[in-house]
Structure 1
């Protein structure tokens, strides 16, 4: 089944050069290309929203990692949602809203078997890229399995005004944490942690003396730390850990551009505290999606879970959104709205 007046061309963001340190505009190119005909089992999606995520920086380097490196002079990819405007699949019909992994372009031809139909009546489509997408799942899995929160715990969250962190603080509360402390950059973000996301205390990493700020915010120590930053944040969190403390290693954005000034954590101190430091890849937790979405939709409905997004408009603004997510310009999830 197909619709009429289908587009013959689309625009994509290509990786034009591998960044040396922080990415710059010339590392990207906006390219128009002709759309091929659909093959059996394929669908054509008009993308409406795309996700912009810090982990993508690692894929721009030509090195082995848990995901393949982006190819030069080819479209980037990432999570997106959109409307199906043509279909050669009996399973996905025209008009359906789907999520998939062919973002960074205005239209995507994908195998129907690789997409996930979503219900826009359940939540706004862009929420499937954030609070009830892999962002929310990351926070949930980190705090229920990687570094489980127990009733009465004190929880510390870095990058707490970002996509994962802002959700994690609220989930920690829902799981019974007694005190939740977040780190963010600047007074506007720290105020948002307190006023909108329900954190009990907030520290501003731009002010300095992170160790002193954390000690004042968590005088009885830290039981659980969700780390999205690495470097000095991880170092001071280990110093503040209580015996048998738990750390979820979710990201290390402070080193994504090859920074060499990161402070090394004291792993011997972690050993003497009998601490657990465990990394996570959200892809390992996709089987948990159903459980998480069921809880998250309920939390959203009752106001236990609140979300916010930073939105750039137009595919041409995607590189700027990416620069922003690496420098902390976003509050909540960084998204690009495609028109």
Structure 2
């Protein structure tokens, strides 16, 4: 194979990304360097964190540069290997997949998957980065106690659907915020007690108060924006807000995040607002993956997926995820 259609960043998005921010180039098949694997891509993941990388602004991770190949999480089959740890035919997951059918990944960061244990694409969803993020942000940062109310935004998304089910398993009172009644129906089916359709709710502060009559103890904030402000006004004394994502600001990424300043509310409730990055918990990944996999195999953890088909669909899948149009974990199948 000498042709390898590859998506590159053609310009930094202004506001919400659009398809013209990306270009599909016909590139040759890459050659694996020492320490790399040549892999046939089976699945690509598109995730909210990727929006922050499409900007010249300083970020916690190295940003994507103009003309560079788009990168993200993926699953693929090893074609050639320079590492004794992997052989042709192995199925691997890594976070440095290029948006191309044949790509190279580092053997140091690749993880061999067992297709018999779970569908391989779950390593990009409920058993991968989103699942781990749900696990640690809820249990290790939010630290809810049995019976406490946990409010979760983007509740039907890749992270939110896992967090809601962990809350159910652990005996917390889970309340969902999502963008449609169909998404809320799904959330209730997996263990959320109640739900709020933020597109139809009107006054969000009142809607949260009605769904959480005892107040909010932990808010898992996957969106930022007005939902954050409304949750804060319903926060109980010593409540916790875990800032996991800011996808609601995908169309205003380079603008100041200005809203009401509820400092008096924070003072009176003695609230804790803490940012979350998954990398801080790397030493505990193995334990968390083991527990998530056990729940999955016991049927306690479900995973809804939203699958786009073909390499051509990658930018469109990414953009629709940022707009909240996906239903479940957004994936691209090659």
- When normalised by structure 2's length, the TM-score is 0.95
The equivalent residue for 2:149 is 154
Match of 1:105 among 94, 100, 105: 100
Give the match's secondary structure for 1:13.
strand
1:94 maps to 88
Q: Secondary structure at the match of 1:244?
A: strand
**CA distance, structure 2, for counterparts of residue 139 and residue 312 of structure 1:** 23
How many corresponding residue pairs?
330
The 1:286–1:213 alpha-carbon spacing in structure 2 relative to 1, beyond 3 Å, is: same
Matched, 1:198 2:182: no
Shift of 1:236: 1.2
CA pair 330-145 structure 1, distance change in 2 beyond 3 A: same
SS of aligned partner of 2:133: helix
Whether the aligned pair in 1 keeps the contact of 2:196 and 2:207 (CA below 8 Å) is yes
Q: Which residues of structure 1 form unaligned runs of 5+?
A: 1-6
| Distance in 2, Cα, partners of 1:98 & 1:209 | 46
Q: What is the rounded CA distance, in whole Å, between the counterparts of 2:86 and 2:18 in structure 1?
A: 38
Match of 1:217 in 2: 211
Q: Equivalences for 1:117-128 in 2 at 5 Å? A: 117-128=112-123
Q: Take 2:30 and 2:134, find their aligned partners in 1: how far apart are those partners?
A: 38
Q: Is the 8 A contact 2:220 2:242 kept in 1?
A: yes
- Structure 1 segments of 4+ aligned residues over 4 angstroms from their partners: 259-262
CA RMSD of aligned residues (A): 1.5
- For the residue of structure 2 that corresponds to 1:113, the secondary structure is coil
The answer as to whether partners of 2:31 and 2:38 remain within 8 angstroms in 1 is no
> Are the aligned partners of 1:238 and 1:265 in contact in 2 as well (CA < 8 Å)?
no
Q: CA deviation at 1:115?
A: 1.1
* Among candidates 153, 161, 166, match of residue 166 of structure 1: 161
Aligned to 1:145, the other structure's residue is in SS state helix
Question: Aligned to 2:242, what secondary structure does the other structure show?
Answer: strand
Out of 30, 52, 57, which is 2:24 matched to? 30
CA distance in 2, matches of 1:61, 1:40: 31
Q: How does 1:17-96 map to 2 (within 5 A)?
A: 17-96=11-90
1:245–1:276 Cα contact (<8 Å) kept: yes
1:36 positional shift: 4.1
Q: Compute the TM-score of the two structures, normalised by the length of structure 1.
A: 0.94
- Segments of structure 2 that go 5 or more residues without pairing to the other structure are none
The aligned runs of 1:179-328 (5 Å cut-off) are 179-195=173-189, 197-207=190-200, 208-258=202-252, 263-328=259-324
Match of 1:136? 131
- The C-alpha deviation readout for 1:195-222, integer Å capped at 9, x for no partner, is 2x21100000011211111111110101
Indicate if the aligned counterparts of 2:70 and 2:99 stay in contact, CA closer than 8 A.
Answer: yes
Preserved contact between residue 184 and residue 190 of structure 1 (Cα < 8 Å): yes
Q: Could you say if the C-alpha distance between residues 25 and 212 of structure 1 is closer, same or farther in structure 2, counting changes exceeding 3 Å?
A: same
Q: 2 CA distance for matches of 1:69 and 1:176?
A: 39
Q: Which of residues 111, 114, 126 is equivalent to 1:116?
A: 111
1:99-147 CA-partner distances (Å, limit 9, x unpaired): 1122422111223222111211111110000000010000000111111
Q: Describe the SS at the equivalent of 2:104.
A: strand
1: CA distance, partners of 2:65 / 2:204: 39
Contact 1:202–1:217 (8 Å) recurs in 2:
yes
Give, in whole Å, the separation in 1 of the partners of 2:116 and 2:143: 32
- 2:207 alignment partner, SS class: helix
